[in-house]
Amino acid sequence: MSDFTPPRGVWIIAASYLTALVLTVWPLPGWAELLRPVWVPLITIYWCLWLPQRVGVITAFVAGLLVDALSGTLLGEHALALVLVAWATLWLHLQVRVFPWWQQCVVVLGLLTLNAFVLFWVDGMLGYTLGTSLRWMPPLVSALLWPWIMQVMSRLQQRYHVG
C-alpha cells in the first residue's frame, strides 16, 4: 500500500460495485432467488476491511442508493443498511483482518445479519411482512461464500495494485 502515489485502481473499485449490482439483479429461477448472495454488502465489507482509507460510509451510502434505485425499494433503505454495515466493518477492521477465515465468516455473517435486519425492519414498517422467515437465508449463503470472495477480491486487488 503506497500512500504517496495518487489513488490507484478507482476503476477496480467501481468495476467491483458494477459487477455486484449486475449480480444483484441477475435473473435467477424462483427457487434460487433466496440463495442469491447479497453482493453489494459483501463487496462493501471487503473494501472497508482492506481499503478503509478509500471506501467507507460515503461509498456505502451511494452504493445503497443505487441498489434502491435498481431494486425498486424505498430510497434510502439499502443506503441505511449499507452505511451501518460499513461503519461496523470500519470499526472492526483491524481485528477482523487478522482473524482466521472461519472467524471472518462469523463476523461477516453478523454484519450481513445487521444488513438484513435493517431491511427487514424498514419493510416491516411498510407492511411487507410476508416471507420473513426466509430473510435469513441470503446472509447465511453470503457468509459461506466469504472465503472465495475474499480470495478473488484480494487477488484482483494485488494484481491491479489497488491501494
Partner 1 sequence: MAVLRRQRSPQLFSSRPAGALRTLLFIALSIMLMVYDHQTGRLKQMHAALATVVWPVQVIVDAPHSLLNWAEQKIATHRALVDENAQLKSQLLQANVSLQQLAALQQENERLRNLMQATAQMGGRVSVASILSADLDPFRHLVVIDKGSHDGVYEGQTVLDAYGIVGEVTRADPLASEVTLISDPGQAIQVEVNRTGLRTLAVGSADLTQLALPYITNNADVKQGDLVVSSGLGGRYPAGYPVGVVSQFERDPAEPFAHVNARTAADLNHGHEVLLYWPAQAPPTSELPPKPATALKPGAKPVRKKP
* Contacts to partner 1 by CB under 8 A: 3, 18, 21-22, 25-28, 30, 33-34, 36, 52-53, 56-58, 60-61, 64-66, 68-77, 79-80, 83-84, 86-87, 90-95, 97-98, 122-123, 126-128, 130-131, 135
Q: Are 52 and 68 in contact (CB under 8 A)?
A: no
Please report where in the chains the cell 465468516 appears, as a residue.
105
Dist. CA 62–CA 76, nearest whole Å = 10
C-beta of 150: minimal distance to partner 1 in Å? 17
C-beta of 137: minimal distance to partner 1 in Å? 10
Closer by beta carbon to partner 1, 71 or else 158 = 71
Query: Amino acid identity of 30?
Result: G
Query: Amino acid identity of 74?
Result: L
Q: Which of 39, 24, 12, 35 has the alpha carbon at shortest distance from 154?
A: 12
Q: What count of other Cβ atoms lies within 10 Å of the Cβ of residue 95? A: 10
Closer by beta carbon to partner 1, 95 or else 151 = 95
